[in-house]
Structure 1
C-alpha cells in the first residue's frame, strides 16, 4: 500500500486544463491523459475504494483483461511518480483519501476538464454525466438562494441569480416560475409576461413543446393580482385571502418520467396603463396591504440553542414550493409589517441526557396559541430533533392553511385537528389508527370538513399498507377504508384523496387501472407530492423505471422537508441502475439531514446493495437479522461457502412469507447468480402476492432473470404481459442489450 503518514494537501483544477498542485504550489500533473482521467475519477469519488476492474472497464474496455490491467498498472505508476503519497491502493482497489484533495474552480461548467474528452467512450459518458450533474448542483444552489430571497420578500435582489440560472438551464420551468415571482414582488407586470414569453419561445423553438399548465396558471394568477384595482381593494377594508393549501406528502409505500401534460394558454399582453396600475399596487403591497398570508419564525428565548433551531426552521420552511409560488410569504421578523398571520415560536434546551424542543404556532393578530408540541431526543441527536421539528412544522402549517381555506374551526377543534395533523408527519413511526381516531372526532363536529377527510383517508390507507406488508389480516383494515370512502363520497365527493385511497382497493395486478387513476388525479391536482409518489411506485411496478425516476424526483421537489420522499428518489435512482446519480442524491441528503436517523437509514439501504458493504455493516443495527449479516458476508467475500450460508439463512419459499422477505430473498439470490433458485421462489410465491411485489423484477440484480425467457412466463402469470400488450408501454429492459428475445415478438407468439 502506498500511503504517506503525513499526507500532503493537493489541489485539483476542475476548469479548463487538468492540473494537480501540491501544498507547496508545485505542478504535479502526470503526462498521460489516462493517468489524469484516473485521478479525476478518484477525486470525484474521494474516500471510496474503487475496484481496479472499474477503472479498466472505464478506460480500457476495448482491450483484453490482461492488457487492460497492465495498462492500469503503468498509469498508476505514472501517478505515483509525479504525485507521491496521493494514491492509496491494495490488490483490488485504488483510492484517494477524502481529506487529501480539494477540487477548485467553478465546477459544473461545460469546460469541466475540457482536455480530457475522447479518451474512451465509457469515460466520455461518465464525464458528460458528471458535467451535467455538477451544472445541476450549481443550478440547485442558485435556486435555493433565490427561494430564500423570495421568502424574505427580496425578489429584486434575485434577478442576477435568476439570469445565471436561465443561462445554465434555459428549459427549466421551475426557474422561470421563480423569475415570475421575483418580477411579481418587484411589481413588474411586463416582466412577468416577458419571463413567460421567453420560456415559451425557447421551449417551442428547441423542444417543440409549450410551458406546463401550472406555469401558465401561475403567470395568469400573478398578473391578476398585480392588475386588480388597488383602490377598490384598500377601500373595502377587507383583507383578501388567496391561500392554496400545502398538501402534505404522506409516508411512501414500500412499493415502488413523466410525460408532461402541456396545454395551450391564451397569452394576454399587458399595456402601459396596466404597468402603471401594477406599480401603484406594488407600492400598496410595500405598505402591508397584501393578500398573501405571512408566516414568521422566531425563537422563544435568546439562548443559542433556540436561536439555532429557529434559524434552521426558517431555512427549511423557505424551501417549500408554496413560498416560491406566491401562495404565502415567509418573514424573519414577527414584529414587522405587514403583521404576520401566523408565528412559529421555537425553543430548545438541554436537560441532562436529553435535548428538548418546544414548538408553538401562534395567531399573529391575537397572540393566542393555536397549537403546541414538545419534542425530545437523546443528546447527540440534534439533527434528528431539528429534522422532525421542520417536518412537523411544515405539515402543521399546511393543515392550518387548509382549515383557514375551508371556513376555519373553533379554537379547541383547530387545536385537536392540528395535533392529529402533526401526528401524521410521523405516521411511519406512529400508529395511523390514532390519527384516524382524531380525524373522526373532528368529523363528528364538522361532517364535511375536507381537510379532516383527507387525513382520515390517508391514515386508513397507511393502516392497510401496514397490514399488507406484515401479511396480517387485511379484512378489518379494508372494511374500515371502504366505510370511510363511502361516507366521503357523500360528504366531500370532489376530494382527490378519495381516488388515492381507491388505489389501495384495486385488485393485485390492476396495473393499467392504477396508472389511469393516477393520471386523472395529476390533471386535477398537479402539485400534490403524494400523487407523484404513487406514480413513481406504479411505474416501477410495470418496469417503466426511467419514468418512475422522473415522478420520484418531482415528488421530492414538491416535498423538500420529507426525508422519506428524498429516500424514495434515492431508491428509485438505484433501482433504475443509476447508481452514481443515487450516490449524489445521497450526498445531497447527507448535507440536508446530517446526523439524523432518516439519513442513516437511507445510507444503510444504499450501501446494503449498491455501495460499500463494510459501510452497510457499520450502519447495521441489531434488528436487521442473521440473513442480512449473511448477505453482507457474501458481498464482502462471494465464495461458494458464503453464498451457501446466505441460501441457508433465507430458507425455502413458503406460502406464508411476507412480501418484504420474499422480495429480499429474490434480490439476494439473483445478485449471486442463483437463477434457478430465483425462479423457484417466483413460482412458489402466490400469484396475487407476486403481483403486489412486481417491482422487484426490475431491480438491477435481476438482469439475468429478465434475460431468461422464463421471465415472460412470470410476467404473464401476474398480468404484466397483458398490461404491456394492452397499453403498448413496454418495460425499459426490453431495449437492454443481451436480451435473448424480443418482448413484443415473444408476446405475440405466446398469444397465438
Structure 2
C-alpha cells in the first residue's frame, strides 16, 4: 500500500463533507468543521482511496504507520474516532464497516459511489463559497484553558467579505481562513504565507492587506518575543496599505485596535470599533472584537447582546459558539448558557476551546462529576493538549466535589506550579483559587499576573510545546467578571485591584458601570 502523505493529498468529497487532508479538516456543507488527528486523517484517506474495498490491518499499518508494528488497540482507537466523526459532523453520510477477521472498508450512505477526488471539484467548491459570511473563518479559538495564542484568546471570529474577493485570490483567501481556524502556531503561519501570496497577486485588494495586517498582528502578539518588533512593523505597514486603498477598511480598523495595548486603552479601542461598526454594521470581526472589549471591562450583558448580533449573521464557528457560551455565563443567563454549551459540544466535541469551556462551566456550576467524566473519556479529549494538563484540572474538580482541605491543597499546589510557567495557567489558577475559597491565593496570583509582584510568570501562554506566547505586559481581564471569580468581587481588595489595573478609570471616562455594580 502506498504511504499516505497528508501534505500531498488532494481535497475530496465524502457525503456532505469536504475532506482536506493537509489541514486534517472535515468541513460540512453548512460550514461546520472538525479537525482530526493526523493518524485518523491518514486512515480515512487510505479507506477513501478505494471506497467499498476492504483494507486489512496490515494494509493500514503499511500506509498509515509506515509499516511499523502497532497493536490492535492503536488501530481500534483510530477507527473508533473515525466512526464518531462519521456519526457526528458527517451526519451518517458514511460509515466504517468492520469485516470480521479481514479488515475495514468505507461505505457511503446508501450508495457504492466513490468519494469525489478531482482537483477541479475542490477548486470549484472554493470558488462557490466566494468567501461569503459562511466562508471566512479567520482566527482560532482558545478557551480560558485552551492552547492557542493571540488568534484564539483575542480574535476568533468569522469576518465576512462584504464584497466578494477577486476570483484570482478567492481560493487563497479561503485556504488562509481555514488554516487560521486551526488555532495553532502552524495554522497561523500557514495563513500568513497564504495572505502574503494574496497581496502579491492582487496588490490593489484592500481586504487582502487588511487581513494580512491581522495575521501580522497575531504573530506579533502571540508569537515568540524575538519576532514581535518585526511583525508589529509589518502589521502597521499593511494597515497603511489597506487604508490607502480603502480608508474605511474594517480589517485595518480591527488590526489597529489589536496592536494597541488593551489594558488602560479600552475606551479608545471601543470608540474605534463602534465607529467602524457604523460603516460596517454586520462585520463579524468588528462585532466579536467589540464583544471582547465589553467583556474585558465587565459589561457582560452588553457583550452577550453584541454576540447575539454576530450569531445572527454568521455560521456557528467554534470560536463564536464558545465565546457565546462564556458571554451568556458571565451575563448571568445560565440556562441559556447551558443550551448554547450543549449545542456547541454537539457541533465540535473535540475542539479544545469548546471542550475546555464545557469542562469548566460544568465544574464551576456544581457539576464537577460531569467534568471528571469528560476527562475520563480519553478518546474524546481534545488533541494537542499535554497530558499533564488533565490531572491538574481534574484535581480542581475533585476538590470542588469533596471540599476536603487536602484535596484543595493538592489542586492549588499543582496549579500554582503551572501559574509560574504561563499566563494562561495563571488566569486559570486565579479562578480555581477563588472558587475553592482560597481568596488570598487568588489575589496573590493576580498581583503576579498584573503587576509582576511576588513572582515572575513565564511568557509562554501554556506549555512550551504549544509554542504560543503572551508578553508579561499583555493582560486579560475578562476572567475577573466570570462567575468563577465572584468571591473576589465580594472582597474589599477587588476595588483596589480594578483601580490599579485601570478599569475604574475606564468606567469613569465612559460613564459606564460593570454588571456587578449595577
User: What does residue 401 of structure 2 align with?
Assistant: 636
Give the Cα separation in 2 of the matches to 1:403 and 1:517: 20
**Pairing 1:605-684 to 2, within 5 Å after superposition:** 605-610=360-365, 612-620=367-375, 621=381, 622=387, 624-651=389-416, 657-684=421-448
User: What does residue 449 of structure 2 align with?
Assistant: 685
* 1:392-421 per-position Cα deviation (integer Å, ceiling 9, x unaligned): 9799714279999568344xx554444334
Q: CA deviation at 1:427?
A: 4.7
Q: CA deviation at 1:352?
A: 9.1
Give the Cα separation in 1 of the matches to 2:210 and 2:488: 41
Which protein has greater RCO, CA pairs closer than 8 Å, 6+ apart? 2
User: What does residue 148 of structure 2 align with?
Assistant: none
Q: CA deviation at 1:713?
A: 1.0
Give the Cα separation in 2 of the matches to 1:403 and 1:626: 43
On the 8 A contact 2:416/2:426 being kept in 1, the answer is no
**CA 1:475/1:636 → structure 2, altered by over 3 Å: closer, same or farther?**
farther
Moved more, 491-500 or 534-543: 491-500
User: What does residue 190 of structure 1 align with?
Assistant: none
On the 8 A contact 1:396/1:421 being kept in 2, the answer is no
**CA 1:720/1:383 → structure 2, altered by over 3 Å: closer, same or farther?**
farther
Q: Does 1:454 align with 2:237?
A: no
Give the Cα separation in 2 of the matches to 1:400 and 1:531: 16
User: What does residue 324 of structure 2 align with?
Assistant: 569
**CA 1:580/1:457 → structure 2, altered by over 3 Å: closer, same or farther?**
same
**Pairing 1:60-71 to 2, within 5 Å after superposition:** none
Q: Does 1:694 align with 2:477?
A: yes
User: What does residue 380 of structure 1 align with?
Assistant: 84
SS of the residue 1:733 aligns to: helix
Q: CA deviation at 1:490?
A: 2.9
Q: Does 1:729 align with 2:512?
A: yes
SS of the residue 2:389 aligns to: coil
User: What does residue 420 of structure 1 align with?
Assistant: 176
Give the Cα separation in 1 of the matches to 2:82 and 2:425: 32
Give the Cα separation in 1 of the matches to 2:201 and 2:269: 34
User: What does residue 501 of structure 2 align with?
Assistant: 718
User: What does residue 306 of structure 1 align with?
Assistant: 15
SS of the residue 1:543 aligns to: coil
**CA 1:393/1:537 → structure 2, altered by over 3 Å: closer, same or farther?**
farther
Q: Does 1:442 align with 2:198?
A: yes
User: What does residue 131 of structure 2 align with?
Assistant: 399
**CA 1:458/1:398 → structure 2, altered by over 3 Å: closer, same or farther?**
farther
Rg (Cα) greater in structure: 1
Q: TM-score, normalised by structure 1?
A: 0.44
Give the Cα separation in 1 of the matches to 2:402 and 2:414: 16
Q: CA deviation at 1:714?
A: 0.9
On the 8 A contact 1:382/1:595 being kept in 2, the answer is no
Q: Does 1:481 align with 2:247?
A: no
On the 8 A contact 1:471/1:659 being kept in 2, the answer is no
Give the Cα separation in 2 of the matches to 1:443 and 1:594: 36
Give the Cα separation in 1 of the matches to 2:194 and 2:82: 28
Q: CA deviation at 1:515?
A: 1.1
Give the Cα separation in 1 of the matches to 2:204 and 2:88: 36
SS of the residue 2:298 aligns to: coil
User: What does residue 580 of structure 1 align with?
Assistant: 335
Give the Cα separation in 2 of the matches to 1:418 and 1:592: 21
On the 8 A contact 1:383/1:595 being kept in 2, the answer is no
On the 8 A contact 1:381/1:595 being kept in 2, the answer is no
Give the Cα separation in 1 of the matches to 2:479 and 2:84: 37
Give the Cα separation in 1 of the matches to 2:430 and 2:440: 11
* 1:505-539 per-position Cα deviation (integer Å, ceiling 9, x unaligned): 11232111111111112111111122111111111
**CA 1:726/1:600 → structure 2, altered by over 3 Å: closer, same or farther?**
closer
Q: CA deviation at 1:473?
A: 6.4
Give the Cα separation in 1 of the matches to 2:356 and 2:48: 23
On the 8 A contact 1:471/1:658 being kept in 2, the answer is no
Gapped regions of structure 2 (runs ≥ 5): 1-11, 20-26, 33-39, 50-78, 94-121, 134-159, 376-380, 382-386, 453-471
Give the Cα separation in 2 of the matches to 1:459 and 1:493: 19
**Pairing 1:80-95 to 2, within 5 Å after superposition:** none
User: What does residue 20 of structure 1 align with?
Assistant: none
**CA 1:734/1:472 → structure 2, altered by over 3 Å: closer, same or farther?**
farther
**Pairing 1:251-400 to 2, within 5 Å after superposition:** 306=15, 313=28, 316=30, 353-354=43-44, 378-382=82-86, 386=90, 397-399=129-131
Q: CA deviation at 1:351?
A: 9.8
Gapped regions of structure 1 (runs ≥ 5): 1-299, 320-349, 359-375, 736-752
On the 8 A contact 1:570/1:585 being kept in 2, the answer is yes
User: What does residue 283 of structure 2 align with?
Assistant: 528
* 1:545-585 per-position Cα deviation (integer Å, ceiling 9, x unaligned): 11111112222222223122111101111223322221111
Give the Cα separation in 2 of the matches to 1:632 and 1:543: 26
**Pairing 1:460-471 to 2, within 5 Å after superposition:** 460-467=216-223
On the 8 A contact 1:394/1:561 being kept in 2, the answer is no
On the 8 A contact 1:381/1:596 being kept in 2, the answer is no
Q: CA deviation at 1:720?
A: 0.7
On the 8 A contact 1:564/1:598 being kept in 2, the answer is yes
SS of the residue 2:15 aligns to: helix
On the 8 A contact 2:264/2:503 being kept in 1, the answer is yes
**CA 1:600/1:626 → structure 2, altered by over 3 Å: closer, same or farther?**
closer
User: What does residue 498 of structure 1 align with?
Assistant: 252
**Pairing 1:213-228 to 2, within 5 Å after superposition:** none
* 1:81-140 per-position Cα deviation (integer Å, ceiling 9, x unaligned): xxxxxxxxxxxxxxxxxxxxxxxxxxxxxxxxxxxxxxxxxxxxxxxxxxxxxxxxxxxx
Q: Quick one: which of 166, 171, 184 aligns to 1:408?
A: 166
Q: CA deviation at 1:475?
A: 3.2
Give the Cα separation in 2 of the matches to 1:441 and 1:519: 31
On the 8 A contact 1:440/1:456 being kept in 2, the answer is yes
SS of the residue 2:339 aligns to: helix
Q: CA deviation at 1:722?
A: 0.8
Q: CA deviation at 1:660?
A: 1.0
SS of the residue 1:561 aligns to: coil
**Pairing 1:28-47 to 2, within 5 Å after superposition:** none
Question: What is the number of equivalent residue pairs in this alignment?
Answer: 376
